[in-house]
């Protein structure tokens, strides 16, 4: 069965237009927590506690808020097992999976280039102190 047809936008997508939904999509995935959560979920279904341990520095509140926003926007699926002891897993939706490769490339770029970024920041800060 073919996927449902997407409605034609009134005007071409333009991330520079503040009213364009493409801008909203960009804002959603540009959040550091969204990037980290989506990348962590690329490995398969993951429970909340596992995400909390894996993503250093994120609070439970921020994890919950970001997961809800990602779920609301169709990037993450939540499965509640309805057990006596709460058990919930999160996984990427097909839409989230389509974004996964791009985010993995962004992660690799950051890991490869952080020394250059750190050095540039140090040089800039040293110049400011000299002024």
| Least confident residue range of 7-21, 55-69, 78-92, 108-122 | 7-21
Give the model confidence (pLDDT) of 71-106 as tens digits: 999 999 999 988 888 889 999 999 999 998 899 899
Measuring CA to CA, which residue among 106, 120, 42, 53 is closest to residue 76?
A: 42
Structural domains of the chain, ranges and CATH numbers in brackets: 31-130 (1.10.10.10)
Return the H-helix or E-strand segment holding 92. strand 88-92
DSSP 69: H
pLDDT at residue 125 greater than cutoff 80: yes
Would you state the pLDDT for residue 7?
Answer: 63
Would you state the pLDDT for residue 6?
Answer: 67
Contacts of 5 (CB under 8 A, 6+ apart): none
Query: Contact at 8 Å (CB) between 52 and 36?
Result: no
Q: Read off the tokens for 65.
A: 């808020």
Give the model confidence (pLDDT) of 5-41 as tens digits: 666 656 788 888 888 888 888 889 889 999 999 999 9
């Amino acid at each position: 069965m073919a996927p449902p047809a997407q409605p034609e936008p009134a005007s071409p997508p333009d991330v520079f237009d503040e009213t364009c939904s493409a801008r909203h999509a960009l804002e959603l995935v540009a959040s550091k927590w969204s990037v980290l959560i989506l990348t962590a979920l690329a490995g398969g279904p993951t429970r909340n506690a596992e995400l909390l341990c894996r993503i250093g520095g994120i609070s439970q509140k921020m994890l919950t808020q970001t997961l809800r926003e990602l779920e609301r926007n169709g990037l993450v699926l939540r499965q509640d097992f309805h057990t006596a002891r709460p058990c919930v897993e999160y996984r990427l939706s097909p839409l989230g999976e389509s974004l996964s490769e791009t985010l993995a490339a962004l992660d690799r770029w950051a890991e490869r280039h952080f020394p250059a970024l750190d050095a540039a920041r140090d040089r800039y800060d040293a110049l400011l102190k000299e002024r």
